[in-house]
């Protein structure tokens, strides 16, 4: 058992803080939220001074706890009106950073044509990279519904961007 005395706690914090921040950052696209999630995890570990984990099982426990906290972060953010607007903006920034993406207006217009639920699921998948199960949990829908919405979103995006795809094929062939 890991008796989280000050020395052990400090060792765990120093060895794993940045690693856990990187992991949380792979799920959540908000640097401040990532730091809060990881710091709150360590506070919880400190408060549970006699946590039944060993140094060998600390990282698996930490990854699971951080992942759950990231999912809870998205659940709480979804309640806010502008969350999906922010996600859409982050997605556009990602596209823009990739060689100053020229066709961002076309992609944005296609994104706006998606039904609301499809757009939300599409953004959760494309911006955050969450798995179907995680999106289902966050959105409070079944995995099959996630698959349906993603399929529909990709169908609409393909249809809306077909001229752009043809143009890209002609340019790169």
Boundary of a domain, candidates 57, 78, 99: 78
Backbone angles phi, psi at 64, to 5 degrees: -65, -45
pTM for the model stands at: 0.54
**Are 161 and 103 found together in one domain?**
yes
CATH number for the domain that contains residue 118: 1.10.10.10
**Are 125 and 138 found together in one domain?**
yes
The per-residue pLDDT string of the chain (173 residues; one tens digit each, 9 = 90 and over) reads 455 567 777 888 898 999 999 989 888 878 888 999 999 998 888 888 666 666 777 888 898 899 889 888 887 777 665 666 666 666 666 665 555 556 667 777 888 888 888 888 888 888 777 889 888 888 889 999 999 999 998 888 888 877 766 655 655 54
**Are 70 and 94 found together in one domain?**
no
**Are 103 and 71 found together in one domain?**
no
**Are 64 and 88 found together in one domain?**
no
Where in the sequence is the domain holding 105, given as residue range(s)? 83-171
**Are 74 and 36 found together in one domain?**
yes
**Are 66 and 111 found together in one domain?**
no
Residue 96 pLDDT: 57
- One DSSP character per residue, the chain reads -----HHHHHHHHHHHHHHHHHHHHTT---HHHHHHHHHHHHHHHHHSTT-S--HHHHHHHHHHHHHHHHHHHHHHHHTSTTHHHHHHHHHHHHHHHTT--TTHHHHHHHHHTS-HHHHHHHHHHHHH---HHHHHHHHTS-HHHHHHHHHHHHHHHHHHTHHHHHHHHHHT-
Boundary of a domain, candidates 78, 104, 139: 78
Residue 134 within any structural domain of the chain? yes
Residue 1 within any structural domain of the chain? no
CATH number for the domain that contains residue 55: 1.10.1740
Boundary of a domain, candidates 37, 55, 78: 78
Residue 173 pLDDT: 47
**Are 74 and 134 found together in one domain?**
no
**Are 54 and 38 found together in one domain?**
yes
**Are 73 and 126 found together in one domain?**
no
**Are 145 and 92 found together in one domain?**
yes
**Are 73 and 88 found together in one domain?**
no
């Amino acid at each position: 058992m890991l008796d989280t005395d000050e020395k052990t706690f400090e060792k765990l914090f120093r060895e794993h803080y940045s690693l856990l921040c990187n992991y949380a950052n792979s799920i959540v696209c908000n640097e401040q939220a990532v730091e809060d999630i990881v710091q709150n995890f360590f506070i919880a570990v400190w408060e549970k001074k006699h946590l039944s984990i060993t140094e060998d099982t600390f990282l698996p426990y930490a990854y699971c706890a951080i992942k759950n906290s990231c999912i809870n972060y998205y659940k709480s953010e979804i309640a806010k009106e502008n969350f999906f607007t922010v996600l859409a903006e982050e997605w556009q920034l990602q596209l823009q950073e990739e060689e100053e993406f020229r066709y961002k207006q076309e992609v944005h217009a296609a994104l706006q044509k998606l039904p609301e639920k499809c757009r939300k699921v599409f953004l959760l998948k494309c911006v955050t990279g969450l798995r179907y199960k995680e999106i289902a949990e966050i959105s409070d829908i079944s995995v099959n519904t996630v698959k349906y919405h993603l399929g529909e979103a990709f169908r609409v995006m393909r249809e809306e961007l077909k001229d752009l795809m043809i143009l890209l094929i002609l340019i790169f062939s």
